[in-house]
Amino acid sequence: MTADTGYENPAPRKGFFTDTSVCIGCKACEVACKEWNLIPEDGLELTGMSYDNTVGLGADTWRHVAFIEQRKPLGGQESTASAASTVDLGMPAMPGAADRSEFRWLMASDVCKHCTEAACLDVCPTGALFRTEFDTVVVQEDICNGCGYCVPACPYGVIDQREDDGRVWKCTMCYDRVGDGMEPACAKACPTDSIQFGDLDELRERADERLAQLHDAGIDDARLYGRDPDDGVGGNGAFFLLLDEPEVYGFPPAPKVTTRDLPAMWRRAGLAAATLLTGLAATFLGRKR
């Protein structure tokens, strides 16, 4: 909520809209992000699980392209090789050949969500994590002391500690570029405009239109993720159009900022502290032994 950020004349909130329905899995976003932000190399192993060798977001991966194979038609998709248009040559059939048209490949470029209510920022004890004038969430690397509290606080598994460095790192939504009126490196590099950068209000409108378009085209699985300002984190600054349930992509289905429960937690801790004090005081009552 821009009103809460403490800036007197805040710029319109900036955000990412990642439309995964046009992602082609080229990983240009990953590369552009690494290049621009000078992120160190973090291993060149092959996972063997798909074309995804980056695995997930972390200290040295601020954009991550997920690859998911499914036996499922993309909405409205029909096989061109129908029985009527082909001639049976009596060739041995491939087992399960009839199923082969039903295949889709989901690709999605994940990134820090820049939550409206950001748990990482809430729990940071040094103030290293702060909210920028663009309503994004950024780590000040000269202040972070590597306490690591933000790591388990993030409900999306985004921020992480860089081992040899000790501090935590994550997407800044290219704070340096945005401040100069440029779009973030990933959005700039994306060849299909799967990653769109802009004013969040405008992106939300655009996403709503795109969702309606896909639903009209028969792609009923399409849904927006992180767009709703009433969700458990007050909505995301970086939100997504997905073609399946969020957990398929490795997203939590219903994330919640844990600090919402903090007042209740402090009350319970206060009660427990009082219990401890009175309980131990009571051990001195009675017998003089």
Determine the Cα–Cα distance for residues 40 and 17; give it in Å rounded to an integer: 26
Q: Which residue among 1, 24, 98, 217 contacts another protein (CB under 8 A)?
A: 98
User: Segment 178-217, which members bind another protein (CB under 8 A)?
Assistant: none
Cα–Cα dist 113/228, whole Å: 13
Integer Cα distance of 16 and 190 in angstroms: 12
Q: Rounded to the nearest 5 degrees, what angle is found at the Cα of 115, between the Cα atoms of 114 and 119?
A: 110
Residue 19 · residue 241 · CB < 8 Å:
yes
**Count of C-beta atoms within a 10 Å radius of residue 233:** 22
Distance (Å, whole) CA 72 – CA 74:
6
The enclosing H or E element of 189 equals helix 185-189
SS3 label, residue 105: strand
Nearest distance from C-beta of residue 202 to another protein, angstroms? 26
Residue 258 binds to another protein (criterion: CB under 8 A): yes
C-beta of 124 vs 137, nearer to another protein? 124
Q: Minimum CB separation from another protein for residue 184, in Å?
A: 22
Each residue 139-168 as x (binds another protein by CB under 8 A) or -, in order, gives ----xxxxxxx-xxxxxxxxxxxx--xxxx
We find the least distance from the C-beta atom of residue 130 to another protein, in angstroms, to be 11
Site for another protein in 238-257 (CB under 8 A): 244-245, 247-256
Draw the binding track, 65-94, toward another protein (x: CB under 8 A; -: no contact): -xxxxxxx----------------------
Toward another protein, which CB reaches closer, 193 or 247?
Answer: 247
Footprint (CB under 8 A) of another protein, residues 38-57: 49-50, 52, 55-57
Which parts of 260-279 interact with another protein (CB under 8 A)?
A: 261-262, 264-266, 268-277, 279
Q: Which residues, listed in sequence order, are joined to residue 103 by a DSSP beta bridge?
A: none
